[in-house]
Amino acid sequence: MMAKTTKTMKMTFLNGEKKKISITLGDAVENLTADQVRGAMNTIVEANAFEKDGVAYYHTPQSAAYIERTVTDIFNDSAESAVEPAAKQD
């Protein structure tokens, strides 16, 4: 069995109606400080580039976290078939 771990960054905002909305980024730079991430989130808010029906998607930064996810296959037939060439039928 082989385990695969991925790491993403989840940034959570309140929208213009004070409902939570998140952005999840793969391949995020690791070990960013709270000030760096908060600054990036404030830039997204200040751009005011995302809205629906007049409601801003990203109005107030609320939280940010790195999320690590580990998947351990018990079996994966599709992974094995991708490695082994298919048998040729004559």
Q: Are strands 20-26 and 3-14 parallel, antiparallel or unpaired?
A: antiparallel
The answer to whether residue 82 is domain-embedded is no
Residues of the chain with pLDDT under 70: 1, 79-90
Are 7 and 33 spatial neighbours (Cβ–Cβ below 8 Å)? no
Q: Rounded distance, CA 73 to CA 20, Å?
A: 33
Task: List strand residue ranges (DSSP E) for 15-76, in order.
Answer: 20-26, 51-52, 55-56, 60-72
Q: Which of 54, 64, 46 is nearest to 16 (CA)?
A: 54
pLDDT at 9: 97
Q: Is residue 81 part of a domain?
A: no
The answer to whether residue 25 is domain-embedded is: yes
pTM to 2 decimal places: 0.75
In a domain, 83, yes or no: no
**Owning domain of residue 20:** 3-76
Looking at the 3D structure of the chain, how many domains does it have?
A: 1
Instruction: Decide if 86 is inside a domain.
Output: no
The answer to the question of residue 12 being in a domain is: yes
Per-residue pLDDT tens digits for 27-46: 889 999 999 999 999 999 99
